[in-house]
Amino acid sequence: MFIKCLSTMRALFPGVCLLLFGLAAGSFRVRVPPHEQVARVARFVAHQCDWASMATISSHKPVVGQPFSNVFSVSDGPPGFSSGVPYMYLTRMEISVQDLEVNQQASLSMSLAQTAYCRQQGFDPQSPLCAHIILSGSVLEVNSTEAEFAKKALFTRHPEMIDWPSDHDWFFAKFNITQVWVLDYFGGVKTVSPEEYYQASPN
């Protein structure tokens, strides 16, 4: 809505744009589940975030064997259809994916600092009140059945992926979660098992 507003209407109706912007900014009121419902908070954060930091064990000189953190677009489902599974669209030409070919273990982190929420609430990204999660597990290529959902999940939220160069041999992968770590309140990190995580409602 803003883009259209900015590109086509700004010159003609600046007041309308300002009004629309005000309404939209006010309507972005994400409802974070209560902090004690830790699994729900984790599902909520995983669905809100469009990207994640992924740490792999580097296979590249001069940092072989050291953690290597990189940014990836993720989606656990189209908006409103959360599966809890972070899907990714990857190519073996990519540096972190090359690490995964040596060691598929990885860690993903996502934070409500990636949404307008923490800024609006005045929560610093490192504050536990700015809910964030760390996922431990491994990255696995998905089979063709699951790839259909992964494609829907990713392409609805990252439309430019459709045009990524076809000679890069893109494939769909998922983050197979073995442990969920949640920072959503004071008192230290809390853990959630994959079973609890997948059973929880993200809304």
Angle (CA) 170-176-179 rounded to 5° is 145
Find out whether 42 and 110 touch, Cβ atoms under 8 Å: no
User: Considering beta carbons, is residue 131 or 135 the nearer one to ligand NAG?
Assistant: 135
Tokens of residue 57, six digits: 């064990």
User: Considering beta carbons, is residue 118 or 173 the nearer one to ligand NAG?
Assistant: 173
Tokens of residue 101, six digits: 């070919």
Min dist CB 131 to ligand NAG, Å, is 22
Find out whether 46 and 110 touch, Cβ atoms under 8 Å: yes
User: What are residue 110's phi and psi, to 5 degrees?
Assistant: -140, 150
Find out whether 173 and 149 touch, Cβ atoms under 8 Å: no
User: Which residues, in sequence order, are CB contacts of 84 under 8 Å at separation 6+?
Assistant: 43, 46, 47, 76, 177, 197, 198, 200, 202
Min dist CB 10 to ligand NAG, Å, is 47
Min dist CB 134 to ligand NAG, Å, is 15
Min dist CB 38 to ligand NAG, Å, is 17
Q: How many CB atoms lie within 10 A of CB 185?
A: 16
User: Considering beta carbons, is residue 81 or 185 the nearer one to ligand NAG?
Assistant: 81
Min dist CB 147 to ligand NAG, Å, is 9
User: Considering beta carbons, is residue 140 or 189 the nearer one to ligand NAG?
Assistant: 140
**Residues contributing to the site for ligand NAG (CB under 6 A):** 138, 140, 143, 145-146, 176-178, 194
User: Considering beta carbons, is residue 117 or 197 the nearer one to ligand NAG?
Assistant: 197
